[in-house]
Amino acid sequence: MNCMESIDKCLISKLTKKEAVVGVVGLGYVGLPLCLRYCEVGFRVIGFDIDKKKNRILNGGGSYIEHISSERVEKAVEVGFEATDDFGRVVEVDAVILCVPTPLNKYREPNMSFVINTMEAVKPYLREGQVVSLESTTYPGTTEEELLPRLQEKGLNVGVNIFLVYSPEREDPGNPDYETSTIPKVLGGHTHACREVGVALYSAAIAQIIPMSSTKAAEMTKLLENIHRAVNIGLVNEMKIVADRMGIDIFEVVDAAATKPFGFTPYYPGPGLGGHCIPIDPFYLTWKAREYGLHTRFIELSGEVNRAMPEYVVGKLIDVLNDHSKALKGSRILILGIAYKKNVDDMRESPSVEIMERIQAKGAKVAYSDPHVPVFPKMREHHFELSSVELTADSLGSFDAVVLATDHDRFDYELIKQHAKLIVDSRGIYRESSTKIIKA
């Protein structure tokens, strides 16, 4: 490293002076914004992804994520950013940041294959003077149990000549108020030296770093953040069912409760949980807790409530059709919004897709409209040969009912209200009551 100081001090110096090369493995909703941020502050960045098509798009200055502009990618390419599937180039970088998925298997247990396989892919090319950071959300102990031994197998001395940290991603795609640079970054190191190197790595690109005592504490922090949301959303979804049975509008209730200036945080019900974090991450802790003889009843109960919401919405659809002397079987149903949340094109774990499958399984003809998803994409577990329906007076009137599943701002809600025959509203867009609109 051409440095007379210890390896950690030399690496910190390179990071501080922006002379280090940053490598990001996994160029999705987390990895790509991180690459662009490091490019924007003056680092040379190499992105790694096994998807050759994705790499070609990026190297051509294009973006495949709606809320990330091609202009940002083009500027990054102009200053030296490149995407590759050649993991041999890991030897060129000083920082290896892992941003790969951590899904669940069919038994709702952690699927660590992406993390483990990625670590195995980069391991042959790791060297002294690097920092390895895991950003994937996972159970407490992952960094020590899965990454640390693989570094040691290389004969590297963690905390002395190579450095290991855990720093969970906190991306919120489509949120206009926060971006990679402005979201505080939690960070835990395997040793004190690891933590200091990690702080140097991230403070160069992110405004506020929250150093923690260990990688385990940082891993638990990310789980707590997402479990907090999952449990509270489960609570308000259960309250929705109770309120509906009592003839009370839960959205009116939440709005009123939110006026209390202390002690209450508003959460709104919906058709279920979606995205890469909230429906999945709580079960990482549930699974790990069993190793300690613990049963996470609160987390599992909220999971049961949230997973039941798509079926609840379909039940409401059946009710409103029945009230108008129609059966679901043979009806034409339009799903409004198939992304997992408003104003994005991200469909990971979207409850809308489960609603579509349930409706189709019951014999209805299903279609969808989503301005952010023009063609139904290839997904690991779901498949529809469909394109987005343009919303017009005629198209809306041609369906027996529409199900409002994702409340995109680009929908013309007045047009929908005027021309849809029946509306099942799972997002509380329509606050008035009528025989035509049913809350779900």
Residues serving a catalytic function are: 277
Supply the angle between the helices 215-245 and 282-290 in degrees, to the nearest 10. 110
What does the H/E/C string look like for the chain?
Answer: CCCCCCHHHHHHHHHHCCCCEEEEECCCCCHHHHHHHHHHCCCEEEEECCCHHHHHHHHCCCCCCCCCCHHHHHHHHHCCCEEECCHHHHHHCCEEEECCCCCECCCCCECCHHHHHHHHHHHHHCCCCEEEEECCCCCCCHHHHHHHHHHHHCCCCECCCEEEEECCCCCCCCCCCCCCCCCCEEEEECCHHHHHHHHHHHHCCCCCEEEECCHHHHHHHHHHHHHHHHHHHHHHHHHHHHHHHCCCCHHHHHHHHCCCCCCCCCCCCCCCCCCCCCCCCHHHHHHHHHCCCCCCHHHHHHHHHHHCHHHHHHHHHHHHHHHCCCCCCCCEEEEECCCCCCCCCCCCCCHHHHHHHHHHHCCCEEEEECCCCCECCCCCCCCCCCECCCCCHHHHHCCCEEEECCCCCCCCHHHHHHHCCCEEECCCCCCCCCCCEEEC
**Residue 431 C-beta-side C-alpha neighbours within 13 Å:** 6
